[in-house]
Amino acid sequence: MMIFAASLWLVACGKESQPSSSSASPDAVPVRVRAAESRDLQRTVRVVGNLAGLESTTLSNRVPGTVEKIHVDVGDRVKPGTTLLEIDPTRFQLWLAEAQAAQQETLAMLGVTEVGGGADDSFDINQTAPVKKAQTELDTAKSKFDRNRPLFEQGMIKQFEFLDLESAHKVAQTALEASRDSARSLVNRIRRTKAEIALKKKDIEEAVIVAPSGVTPDGIRIDSYSITARKASVGEYLREGTALFALVADDKLKLQARVPERFLGKVTVGEKIAFQVEAYPGEKFEGTVHRIEPTVDAGNRTFLIEAIVENAEKYQRRLKPGSFVQGEIQTGIDPGCIMVPLEAVASFVGVNKIYVAGYTLPRSLPLVACAIEVTTGQQEGNWIEVRPVAGQRQLNPGDRVVIDGTTKLTDGTPVEINE
């Protein structure tokens, strides 16, 4: 055992001792010491939360019918647009054929091959066969009427003959307007039939259930989905809106966690979050903060954050949606933080103290333990950050803190340092 000789380092413990000629006090407590260190600390915010799929969806059918084919099952991986299930389309195909036949019949009545699809589409009804016929009959009646008017005026034809011609002219005019009205009705019927045909084609298209498109609302591309549930069987009759499959996009995952309100100004988009899951003890995973909820929950004084985890690219899809996570958001680096070994911190009734081995003032032997009340901060391995309470002496890197024997010490206790 030996006593460290003081060089330029002095500790003011609030006491003064009388000069002593001996190298150690007979009442000195043997202790071991370590030098306090200055470190740059990565600041973090601890969070707990859950993993969720980048997108999760339940697919259902828009059209009723009998399940004809099922192409996937639980656990399968599918790309956007992949066919999952087919409903028997026979009924829709028959309806389509019926509507198409009705359309052709109406077109034949008009004597045309096509009309516009909407009310605003220009279509000259005067070019339809019934209107052309009525127009021709009107022209003939008008011609006869016009030719016989001078003859009637000259008394060359009888009045009843002229009145018959006049009546035929008026009838032809009325017939033309009626043919135009009929043609308009037939054109509208064709347009309704065209809409019905489009709906029937849509029904046939939607009788095939496919995986949804591969882009999230904010533009993140989805490469594949995992089938998490199948709720239909071949031969089953499906009513409209029956749940068929549950899908989750898990190539990328969302880590959702709530953060205490006091950290609102410290967490920003783009920061890293390191986390662990119970399925892989001791292994650390990483995500990037993607969204921050713009409001604080008044009930629990927290706000929600979402981080994107590259599950397929970095972790071979080992992480699963629904997993509980414990993580730390990395918010920045604080330089020059004072760290001491964990065993240097003595706690009693909520008060934390460390003891620094040093000389009293005026400088003399023996060494004494100077108590400094501290608050503790971030822990790294077996070392912990300490900050002196206001009014306490400053703790500096290199100060010799007691790590063994603290239970026997009070402020000013003589100590003897063991190597």
What burial class does residue 329 get, using C-beta atoms within 10 Å of its C-beta: 0-12 exposed, 13-18 middle, 19+ buried?
buried
Residues 195 and 113 grouped into a single domain: yes
Question: How many other CB atoms sit within 10 Å of the CB of residue 361?
Answer: 14
Query: Given pLDDT bands bounded at 50, 70 and 90, which one contains residue 292?
Result: very high
Residues 33 and 118 grouped into a single domain: no
Residue 97 within a domain = yes
Which residue's structure tokens are 């990565």? 42
> Side-chain half-sphere of 178: how many Cα atoms within 13 Å?
10
Residue 261 within a domain = no
Q: Determine the Cα–Cα distance for residues 115 and 28; give it in Å rounded to an integer.
A: 111
Residues 193 and 131 grouped into a single domain: yes
**Residue type for position 388:** P
pLDDT of residue 330: 85
Residues across the chain: 419
Residue 175 within a domain = yes
Q: What is the mean pLDDT of residues 153-168?
A: 87
Query: Given pLDDT bands bounded at 50, 70 and 90, which one contains residue 399?
Result: very high
Omega before 80 within 30 of 0, i.e. cis? no
Query: Given pLDDT bands bounded at 50, 70 and 90, which one contains residue 363?
Result: low
Number of domains comprising the chain: 2
Q: What are phi and psi of 381, to 5 degrees?
A: 65, -125
Examine the pLDDT at 280 and tell me if it is beyond 90. yes
> Side-chain half-sphere of 235: how many Cα atoms within 13 Å?
0
pLDDT of residue 125: 84
Least confident of 156-165, 194-203, 277-286: 156-165
Q: What is the pTM of this model?
A: 0.67
**Domain C-terminal end among 169, 186, 204:** 204
Residues 340 and 413 grouped into a single domain: yes
What burial class does residue 19 get, using C-beta atoms within 10 Å of its C-beta: 0-12 exposed, 13-18 middle, 19+ buried?
exposed
Omega before 366 within 30 of 0, i.e. cis? yes
Residue 53 within a domain = no
Residue 409 within a domain = yes
pLDDT of residue 8: 36
Find, among 272, 267, 284, 282, the residue nearest to 308 by Cα.
272
84-141 pLDDT, tens per residue? 999 999 999 999 999 999 999 998 988 888 887 555 557 888 888 888 999 999 899 9
Q: What is the mean pLDDT of residues 166-189?
A: 90
Residue 65 within a domain = no
293-347 pLDDT, tens per residue? 999 999 999 999 999 999 999 999 999 999 999 999 988 888 999 999 999 999 9
Residues 36 and 97 grouped into a single domain: no
pLDDT of residue 152: 83
Examine the pLDDT at 25 and tell me if it is beyond 50. yes
Find, among 197, 195, 321, the residue nearest to 256 by Cα.
321
Residues 37 and 135 grouped into a single domain: no
**Domain C-terminal end among 187, 204, 221:** 204
**Residue type for position 164:** D
Residues 36 and 128 grouped into a single domain: no
What burial class does residue 246 get, using C-beta atoms within 10 Å of its C-beta: 0-12 exposed, 13-18 middle, 19+ buried?
middle
Q: What are phi and psi of 76, to 5 degrees?
A: -70, 150
Backbone region of residue 301 per phi and psi (left: phi > 0; alpha: psi in -120 to 50; beta: other values): left
Residue 180 within a domain = yes
Query: At 342, which CATH number?
Result: 2.40.420.20
Q: Determine the Cα–Cα distance for residues 199 and 263; give it in Å rounded to an integer.
A: 54
Joined together, the tokens standing for residue 250 give: 């898990």
List CB contacts of 310: < 8 A, sequence separation 6 or more.
252, 287
Which value, in Å, is the radius of gyration of the alpha carbons in the chain?
46
Which helix (H) or strand (E) is 188 found in, with range? helix 159-206
pLDDT of residue 22: 41
Examine the pLDDT at 20 and tell me if it is beyond 60. no
Q: Determine the Cα–Cα distance for residues 55 and 220; give it in Å rounded to an integer.
A: 10
Residues 137 and 34 grouped into a single domain: no
Residues 407 and 349 grouped into a single domain: yes
Residue 405 within a domain = yes
**Domain C-terminal end among 170, 185, 204:** 204
Q: Are 54 and 317 in contact (CB under 8 A)?
A: no
Which residue's structure tokens are 């080992």? 318
Residue 123 structural domain: 91-204
Residues 114 and 179 grouped into a single domain: yes
